């Protein structure tokens, strides 16, 4: 015999319809059947609906509330995305080198705005960082520099492990004074590798900390790496 049972209702809408408060003094198991016990989940998990006609499931949606950053979903789990944002702390002067030379790390890139996994290191002469998980990362680089006209400064992210560029920009320098070099892209990055922000030019160059002009000045050279997925 199959029937519907109502508590505080004469018109139950489901097999068990409770019109009022419900107290459960032990575990709640979901998703079982006549031969298999349901799943009671793990401590800290949340019961999530799968829609009409389907049993709900227990999922881990816990977050680290004291970690700054952007919430993303990876493999069905909520995570705080790794993010590194750093500004130049003072003008940095780079030496000329041949196009075939290994580019040099950018110095003075050590005014850390955000490094929520503590993997970035910067000094007056060098910098390096790692990502904590394989994934796709959004890259934003903006550097304002001055150098000799009609040269091709190159700025970007270098893979220290493989000895090759991950991404870079090398536009012709034609400005009378300062010119900005910008990268906005997304690239795969790997936890097993070490990366650095580097620059190269056939003439001496200076990367500026602050913009200048009649409207005032402010920080202008900054880099950001943020995990997307």
Q: What is the mean pLDDT of residues 122-136?
A: 98
Q: pLDDT at residue 150 above 60?
A: yes
> How far apart, in whole angstroms, are the C-alpha atoms of residue 98 and residue 102?
9
Contact (Cβ atoms closer than 8 angstroms) between residue 79 and residue 135: no
Q: pLDDT at residue 136 above 80?
A: yes
Lowest mean pLDDT of 26-35, 121-130, 134-143, name the range: 26-35
The token pair at 76 is 């069905």
Q: pLDDT at residue 135 above 60?
A: yes
Lowest mean pLDDT of 63-77, 108-122, 168-182, name the range: 63-77
Percent of the chain exceeding pLDDT 90 equals 64
Name residues whose C-beta falls within 8 Å of residue 110's C-beta, 6 or more positions apart in sequence. 86, 89, 122, 123, 124, 127
Lowest mean pLDDT of 3-7, 64-68, 107-111, 119-123, name the range: 64-68
The token pair at 100 is 């075939």
Q: Decide which of 68 and 92 is more confident.
A: 92
Supply the mean pLDDT for the chain: 92
Q: Report pLDDT digits (tens) over 165-205.
A: 999 999 999 998 999 999 999 999 999 999 999 999 999 99
The token pair at 79 is 């995570």
Q: pLDDT at residue 66 above 70?
A: no
Q: pLDDT at residue 159 above 60?
A: yes
Which domains, from first to last, does the chain contain? 1-62 (no CATH), 83-227 (2.60.120.40)
Of 44, 79, 83, 86, the closest CA to residue 64 belongs to: 79
The predicted structure's pLDDT at residue 193: 99
Which one-letter DSSP state was computed for residue 81? P
Q: pLDDT at residue 90 above 80?
A: yes
Give pTM, 2 decimals: 0.76
Contact (Cβ atoms closer than 8 angstroms) between residue 179 and residue 145: yes
Contact (Cβ atoms closer than 8 angstroms) between residue 113 and residue 86: yes
Which string of DSSP letters, residue by residue, matches the chain?
----EEES-SS-SSSEEE-S-----S---BS--SSSPPB---TT-EEE---TTS--EEE-----TTS-S-EEEETTEEEEPPEEEEE-SS-EEE----TTSPPEEPTT--EEEEETTS--EE-SS-EEB--SS-EEEEEEEEEEEEE-TT---EEEEEETTTTEEEEEE------SS-EEEEEEEEEEE-TT--EEEEEE-SS-EEE-SB--STT---B--EEEEEE--
Q: Decide which of 173 and 1 is more confident.
A: 173
Q: pLDDT at residue 65 above 60?
A: no
Q: What is the mean pLDDT of residues 198-227?
A: 93
Percent of the chain exceeding pLDDT 70 equals 97
């Amino acid at each position: 015999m199959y029937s519907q049972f109502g508590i505080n209702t004469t018109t139950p809408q489901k097999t068990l319809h409770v019109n009022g408060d419900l107290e459960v003094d032990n575990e709640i198991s979901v998703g079982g059947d006549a031969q298999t016990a349901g799943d009671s989940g793990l401590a800290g998990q949340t019961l999530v609906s799968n829609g009409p006609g389907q049993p709900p499931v227990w999922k881990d949606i816990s977050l680290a509330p004291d970690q700054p950053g952007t919430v993303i979903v990876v493999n069905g789990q909520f995570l705080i995305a790794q993010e590194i944002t750093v500004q130049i702390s003072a003008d940095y002067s780079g030496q000329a080198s041949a196009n075939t030379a290994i580019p040099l790390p950018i110095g003075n890139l050590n005014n850390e705005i955000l490094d929520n996994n503590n993997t970035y290191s910067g000094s007056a002469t060098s910098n390096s960082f790692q990502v904590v998980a394989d994934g796709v990362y959004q890259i934003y680089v903006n550097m304002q520099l001055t150098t000799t006209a009609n040269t091709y400064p190159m700025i970007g992210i270098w893979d220290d492990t493989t000895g090759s560029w991950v991404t870079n920009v090398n536009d012709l320098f034609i400005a009378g004074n300062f010119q900005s070099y910008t990268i906005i892209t997304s690239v795969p990055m790997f936890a097993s590798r070490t990366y650095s922000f580097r620059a190269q030019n056939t003439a001496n160059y200076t990367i500026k900390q602050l913009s200048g002009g009649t409207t005032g000045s402010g920080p202008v050279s900054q880099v950001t790496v943020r995990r997307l997925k």
